Amino acid sequence: MAAWLLLEVLLIVAGPLLALRGAERAWRALRRPARELARNAGYMAGFRLFVLGAAIGGCGAALLLDATWLLVLSLAVGGEEVFESTLLLDGLRRGPRISLRP
């Protein structure tokens, strides 16, 4: 029982810390000049870290409160947004080098 409580507290503490770090990265990227190519990639990397941290914190809260709906919602929304932002970030990093041929 104590091990589960430790895991819940760890998730609840680590999640928001990751989210804050991601928000800070995204904010720093938005403050770069608009002409800089790395601006959008930096923003998406920060956004992805923010969403991951929010999902981890939501999972910890769901375990602590025994709320299955919150756990499912955190995993579904967090997983989908991380997947989507990873694909977008890959496209931003590759830029014009992307080839649509198999």
pLDDT value of residue 102: 65
Mean pLDDT of the chain: 91
Residues 63 and 86: their CA atoms lie apart, in Å, by: 27
Question: What count of other Cβ atoms lies within 10 Å of the Cβ of residue 87?
Answer: 11
Q: Is 47 exposed, middle or buried (0-12, 13-18, 19+ CB in 10 A)?
A: buried
Give the model confidence (pLDDT) of 38-88 as tens digits.
899 999 999 999 999 999 999 999 999 999 999 999 999 999 999 999 999
pTM of the predicted model over 0.85: yes
